[in-house]
Structure 1
Amino acid sequence: MKIHSPQTGKKGLNGHTILFLSLPKHDGHYTSTPWQIAAQLAKQNKVIFVDHPFTFVDLLTGFFKPGIKKRFKAFFGSKSFTKNDVHVILTPFVWPVNFLPKGKLYDFFSYLNHRILASRVNGYLRKHSIDSVIYVNSFNFYFPALHRYLKTSVVLDVYHCIDPMVKAFTVKHGQYLQQEAAQEADLIISTAPSLQKSFMDRGFQKSYLVPNAANFELFNKAVTDKTIYKKLDGIEGKVMGYLGNIERRTDFELLRRVLDQLPEWQLVLAGPVERQYVPVEIFEHKRIHFIGPVPHEEAPSVVRRFDVALIPFKCDEVSQGIYPLKLFEYMAAGKPVVSTNFNPDVLSELNEVVHVAETEEQFADFVLLAYATDSQEKMEKRIQIAAQNTWEQRAQLFSSYLIKELDLNHRLPYVA
């Protein structure tokens, strides 16, 4: 079927073909912002999802990992499939380039990678007779020019910034590549106010904000479903918990001191661990329980065991660009939340339902206060606010910016 003549309306995009190029993978440990937005937009549009490729080194060193095996099999079988109404293209393997210094050699292999990835995408576009797309680069700055290699008309080019850059691996090439991707784009959409402002400060006037949200229906199951995640069965007593990536932004010194002040409490850290950032004493602490990555569908059974849910992020310049998905996920599950004041722009609007601590001592005090004073009324208030911050609503806002730009009809599409 040939996709053409899309319609727009006040309720959102309708009938377009939207191509997402995403840094987070569709089959990662946790769901991601681009995947959630893509799944919502797929209700009224044809949405194609292309995630960041593994490299040939990943293939050689991790051949038996499920994600790599799935992509290897795509060389000999189907190269795409449908998940939640989203058409996922399984990406080919590419050359490792991040270790290279900026310069001609990096540019050459980056060019080869663009060609490899574009070939797979163009094969899908050709097979399905797709003659135009809205292109969304969702934080995949490693492919800042992929749209120029597509054999279709790009009617709108969007750069979607979902996180600040923190790690040395990312910063090495990421900052100038993101600038390149942003300069190519017709508009930029960010997930946090400070990210939006950073683009505006650099002269990108079409810089918009679409904050993260929650899969409300999924996490709200924790209110009624009594199931507890199997790895938490043996943990007794009062539990404070964190669900998410355990890495550089986590304030481990804060957690250690809070545990010193709360000797009757257990701490659950659920999620993938980047071990190089975690102090040895945290791994060895008798009241800290690492339970590893949790399938997204089972996350509510983890949060249900929390008496108090935590967001223990460091308060630094980088953290101001974070808008964590877990904020509304915790509230959708009805749980009281204690957080550091890592992002005042976001947390100041939620001070009625989130305990925001300025010091380590206050953090511990708020854990006790949140536990002791929780009530049905407070739980319902948190759930109500979470219900106003769903991915469906965020997708409507996201699409409204696209519609606004499409209606301007200000540019000719790229045609390869």
Structure 2
Amino acid sequence: MTRLANTNILVLSLPRHDERYTSTTWQISRELALDNNVILVDHPFTFTELLKGFHKPEVRKRILAYFKRPVIEKEGVKVLLPPFVWPVNSLPKGGLYNFFSGLNHQMLARRINRFLKKNDIESLVYVNSFDFYFPSLAKKLVVKPGLNVYHCIDPMVKPFTLRHGPYLEQKAVEQSDMVISTAPALQKKFTDEGIENSFLVPNAANYKLFNKALAIKGAYHKSLSGIEGKVMGYLGNIERRTDFDLLHDALELLSDWHLVMAGPVEAAYVPEQVFDHPRIHFTGSCNHEEAPSVMARFDVAIIPFKCDEVSQGIYPLKLYEYLAAGKPVVSTNFNPEVLDSLSEVVEIGLTPEDFADKVLKAYASDDDEKQKQRALVASKNTWTHRAKQFGALIRSALEKQPKGNVAQRKDQKQPEA
């Protein structure tokens, strides 16, 4: 599989580059940037977010972009900081929404086009990574993309997203040349809708980072101080997809265990009996680089997602991160199509009783050999592997394009801000 190289790639990303947790988009972008000129544009903050959060570092960074260099470089990726835009999600579908959304498209395109002109970029591949709020941005670029890719990284779940997301995503897909999804169910959704160029590139792990957890003995993250005894742990967003009833009932059966829930909490979804439980600890968010020191404290790592239609489209980053750390993993059967292929390294708990039994089994049978086996599985599912797949799909599609409609750079000149 030949790597994609010497190509301008413009990525519009719904997950921002400076969020505390990493994202599929960022990991793919930083790997592609090893051989290509990758320009990543974050999803913009709105004027409302500006007024409410002007004191926050991430907002102040975007303010400064109006007066200083709007481009920063991080891990080889050129991050083009976007302007602030109008808050439109609360508007009903129709003319008013379309008007202000159109203004937002123009403001964002203006900043991108200024960058493209200044750096003499005459060809590019455009990747909309789940930022369906800007479905028509590619049409407003001064450089017509040699390839337009829609990258679907998650199912839509929350009311905020569902208000406009489904029809905007459909519009983005209709304007793209190919769709790349992170989970089999997402890929199948597009295939069932008649999208022939629908491909799968699953999520993976930063193996080198999370494998460090194997060597951490006692120097755990400060948020875990004071927690004694056996720990089953979860690292990630704590929200709608979490099966809190199963967790609570399983913990009642594991009377000498603690449950650590590490990550940002959407309190509206968490039952009171879970918040108030003396053996459940919400430790808050941590930086991505600190995650191994959290995970190292887990005796058993868990993925307690609800088993519903939405969860079938989830391919969690934490799956291979846990395995890279060598941790025993117990999961609900939220996505059989993914989990069946990992039955040798992931235990499945179907009920609270079954989940508790699998936690005990995973803990009792853990040893150095199994830790190495899990890490070996993760080592074959890294972001390097995924970026190579992603790039190969782009390369293949470009080769099928008419001559002259390609996104290769004319030279190796580095863009200026």
With normalisation by structure 1, the TM-score equals 0.96
Structure 1 position 336 matched with structure 2 position 356: no
d(CA) in 1 for partners of 2:135 and 2:345? 39
SS in 2 for 1:194: helix
Q: Which runs of 4+ in 1 moved over 4 A?
A: 410-415
Deviation at 1:29, TM superposition (A): 2.0
d(CA) in 1 for partners of 2:21 and 2:405? 34
Deviation at 1:335, TM superposition (A): 0.3
In the alignment, residue 104 of structure 1 is paired with which amino acid?
Answer: G
Per-residue CA deviation, residues 266-285 of structure 1 (Å, 9 max, x unaligned), is 11111111111111221111
The match for 1:402 is 394
The match for 1:186 is 177
Kept in 2, the 8 Å contact 1:153–1:414? The answer is no
Q: Of 365, 388, 393, which aligns to 2:380? A: 388
d(CA) in 1 for partners of 2:248 and 2:115? 51
Structure 1 position 127 matched with structure 2 position 118: yes
The match for 1:353 is 345
The match for 1:41 is 32
Kept in 1, the 8 Å contact 2:241–2:305? The answer is yes
The match for 2:259 is 267
In the alignment, residue 358 of structure 1 is paired with which amino acid?
Answer: L
d(CA) in 2 for partners of 1:385 and 1:85? 27
The match for 1:315 is 307
Per-residue CA deviation, residues 102-133 of structure 1 (Å, 9 max, x unaligned), is 00000000000000111111111112111111
Kept in 2, the 8 Å contact 1:216–1:386? The answer is yes
SS in 1 for 2:306: coil
The match for 1:7 is none
d(CA) in 2 for partners of 1:166 and 1:281? 24
d(CA) in 2 for partners of 1:29 and 1:362? 34
d(CA) in 2 for partners of 1:412 and 1:176? 33
Deviation at 1:410, TM superposition (A): 4.5
Gaps of 5+ in 1: 1-9
Equivalent residue pairs, number: 406
SS in 1 for 2:347: strand
Seen in structure 2, the aligned counterparts of structure 1 residues 149 and 384 have a Cα distance that, compared at 3 Å, is same
SS in 1 for 2:149: strand
Q: CA RMSD in A?
A: 1.3
SS in 2 for 1:132: coil
Q: How does 1:4-403 map to 2 (within 5 A)?
A: 10-226=1-217, 227-403=219-395
In the alignment, residue 142 of structure 2 is paired with which amino acid?
Answer: K
d(CA) in 2 for partners of 1:119 and 1:292? 38
d(CA) in 2 for partners of 1:57 and 1:412? 43
In the alignment, residue 324 of structure 1 is paired with which amino acid?
Answer: P
Per-residue CA deviation, residues 174-225 of structure 1 (Å, 9 max, x unaligned), is 0000000001111000000000000000000110000000000000000113
Per-residue CA deviation, residues 301-333 of structure 1 (Å, 9 max, x unaligned), is 000000000000000000000000000000000
Kept in 1, the 8 Å contact 2:123–2:406? The answer is no
d(CA) in 2 for partners of 1:126 and 1:258? 58
Query: Greater CA deviation, 406-415 or 170-179?
Result: 406-415
d(CA) in 2 for partners of 1:15 and 1:355? 43
Deviation at 1:358, TM superposition (A): 1.5
Kept in 2, the 8 Å contact 1:29–1:272? The answer is no
Query: Greater CA deviation, 198-207 or 218-227?
Result: 218-227
In the alignment, residue 97 of structure 2 is paired with which amino acid?
Answer: Y
Kept in 2, the 8 Å contact 1:148–1:414? The answer is no
Deviation at 1:62, TM superposition (A): 1.0
Deviation at 1:403, TM superposition (A): 1.1
Kept in 1, the 8 Å contact 2:232–2:299? The answer is yes
Deviation at 1:412, TM superposition (A): 8.1
With normalisation by structure 2, the TM-score equals 0.96
Kept in 1, the 8 Å contact 2:398–2:406? The answer is no
